[in-house]
Structures are given as C-alpha cells and as structure tokens.
Amino acid sequence: MMAETIQLLLVLGCLFLIGVAVDTIGRHTSVPHVTLLMCVGIAVGTGGFDLLPDTADAWFHPIAVIALAMVGFLLGEKFTLENLRRHGKVIFSVSLGASIGTCLVVGTILLLIGTPFPLAVLLAGIAAATDPAATADVVREARVESGFSNELLGIVALDDAWGLIVFSLCTVLAAYSGADGAISGLVVITGLEIGGAILLGLCIGLPAALLSGRLDPGQPSLLEALGIVFICGGLSLWLEVSFLIAAMVMGATVANLARHHERPFHEIEGIEGPFLVLFFLLAGASLDLSAVDTIGILMATYIASRFAGKIVGSWLGVSLAGASDVTRRWMGLALTPQAGVAIGMALIANDRFPEYGDVLLPTVIASTIFFELTGPIFTRIALQKSEGSDD
C-alpha cells in the first residue's frame, strides 16, 4: 500500500509539472494547449515511452467524470434567460442547426461506408462538439470586430451545450440499437436516462441555488461548488443517467435562480484546471498508435463528413434564422475547431461500449488533434473573408 501511495504521489506531481511546462510552451507557440497535452500524453503512454504505471488506467474514469461534470456545470451557465435573449434568434438557430446537422451528416455518411450502427451513431454525436476556447482565441488574435465575429462567439458559447444533449441522445440510441423492441421502447429508455438526468440536475440545482446566495466568496463557495458537482457525478453514475446532462441542468438552474450565481461558476473555473490537465494527458496516453493504421478510411471519412456537416448544419440554421449571406457562407467553416469535450464524449462512449473502444477512441483523439491544428486556421480564414462583408 505504501509503495502504491508513493507511486501515485510521484506520478501526479510529475503530471502537474508537465502541465505547467506545456502551458509555458503553449504561450510561445501557435499549437493549442490541449493538443500539446495530448501529444505529451502519447509520448509518456503505451504508444510512446510507456512511462506511466499500469495503475494509471484505473485513474482515467474517475478523473474523466470529475473533469467533464465540471465542464457540464460551467456550460449550464450559458442557458440563462438573459443570455439566450442577448444572443438572439440567429445564434440560437445556428448553434442548434450546426449540432444536429453535423450529427445527421456524419452518421449518414458513416453508415453508407458500412460502419456498424452503434459506432456510427456514437461518432456522429461526438462530431457535434466544437472548441469555444480556440475559437475565441482566434477572434481575439485576428482583432476582427464585426457582426460575424460577434455571432460566432455567441454560437460557440452554446454549441457544446447542444452537443452534449445530442451526444446523450446518441448514446441512448446506440445502446438501444442492439436490443429488441419497438420505437416506444426507445422513447422509454430516452425518457429514463435523459429525463432522469434533468430531474437529478433540478433536484440538486434548486437547493444549491438557494444556498449559493448566502455564502461569501472564497473557500465556502468553492467547497459548495465542488460538493454539488461531485454529488451530481456520483448520483448520476449510481442512477445510470447522463452525468453530463445532469451537471448542465444543475448549472443552468443555479445560473437562473441563484442571487449570486457567478460565485460557484468562478470557483469551479479556478479549480478545474488541474483535473483537465490530468484528463488530457491521460487521454493522450490511452491512444494506441498501432490502431491508427487500421482506421485510416474511417478517420478520413469522419473528418471529411464533420467538415461537411458543420457547413450544411450552419447553412440550414442561418437560413431558418434569416441571417446575412456572409454568415451563411462562412459560419460553418469557422466552427470546425474541436477539443476536449469531444475526447470526453469518446471516453464516456468507450466506457459504455468497450467493444468499439479500439476503433472509437483512436479515431476521435487523432481527429481531434487534426481539428485542433487545422480548425483555428479555417476559423481565421472565415473571419478574414467575412471582414468588410457584413450585411
């Protein structure tokens, strides 16, 4: 036991310091922070120098749940009534259209090339996720202030929230696809898993909203925020409902009802960093590079269909909202970056559908690295093309 404790402390300490080094390097290069973390993870994992202990695999699931529950909680803040009113019809329509459209296009094309139905559905759900942080960085670096850039920032603020909902529905559909039963059975299963998650989020979020306004900033608020996120994650796993949806509903409830709702969100933002560092490093370490050679066609198809899906979905959303031609023409290209939420979805899918893990996880991690490297470039091109062309 003592040896395992020593090993755990030493490895965690080294991983945190690696995170510091990566952050320093990231500030002096154009390579996204998440991409650097995953590349380092690959180097220290089984696909590289195999420096991590065998017990590191057991850390993956709990760290992923904690990190992604925090992400879901923070995304819930985007669904305040004030925020939705401020973003308006265009942003609401395009963000929803881009998520659903991408899912439908990717799923359809993957099925056409013979991908098993559960795997195609899971990849389609994961494809909806974007990278709000990278997109915001590109807008800031490009120094483009226009109607298009403002719409883009509003869309990516909601995009991953819609993506989590779409992915949760896809996991239910993938699980049901192998079972016997009528469509009514799917409705029941969806209602139990998604509806149960919404109910759980409300049950935790309502008392948390009443409590948060009564605590001072600092340690009490931090303990409160961590407490509700951990309880939400644990109860979700125990009840077998989507912890992502539950955490997001909980966050939305607190954001809409708490008198000082900013406090728990700001506290979580300050503490999620170490968990995300571990999450991305271990995600990279889990990548089996030997499997990448066997998924070339699938990965290429997934990448191409995701590009097409973002463009088609955004175009439909813009058309329904009656937005400008420049938004219709360039918004899909601007939404191509993809980052950590997609990998988190892949880890959840891998845990629930281990029979597809050897294909699904390498496909998503490798394609995410591709989109993290190329996506910001396409976003910058879209911003430059749209500049001076706003209607």
Backbone dihedral region of 143: left (phi > 0), alpha (psi from -120 to 50 degrees) or beta? left
Side chain identity at 107, as an amino acid letter?
G
pLDDT value at 201 more than 90: yes
Q: What is the mean pLDDT of residues 253-276?
A: 74
Going along the chain from its start, the domains and CATH numbers come out as 72-386 (1.20.1530.20)
**Which of 385, 355, 367, 389 shows the shortest CA–CA distance to 177?**
355
Distance (Å) of CA 129 to CA 46, 77, 160, 234, 289: 27, 17, 5, 24, 23
Q: What is the mean pLDDT of residues 284-291?
A: 70
- Alpha-carbon distance of 36 to 224, in angstroms, equals 32
Q: What is the mean pLDDT of residues 199-206?
A: 92
Predicted local confidence at residue 350, as pLDDT: 81
Tell me the pLDDT tens digit for each residue of 17-35.
Answer: 988 888 888 777 766 677 7
Q: What is the mean pLDDT of residues 329-340?
A: 84
How confident is residue 187, by pLDDT bands cut at 50, 70 and 90?
Answer: low
Q: What percent of the chain has pLDDT over 70?
A: 83
Tell me the pLDDT tens digit for each residue of 345-381.
Answer: 887 888 788 888 788 888 888 888 788 778 888 888 8
Tell me the pLDDT tens digit for each residue of 149-184.
Answer: 777 877 876 777 788 888 888 888 887 765 555 455
Predicted local confidence at residue 295, as pLDDT: 79
Question: Are the C-beta atoms of 299 and 292 separated by less than 8 Å?
Answer: yes
The phi, psi pair for 30, rounded to 5°, reads -95, 0
How confident is residue 307, by pLDDT bands cut at 50, 70 and 90?
Answer: very high
- Alpha-carbon distance of 295 to 223, in angstroms, equals 44
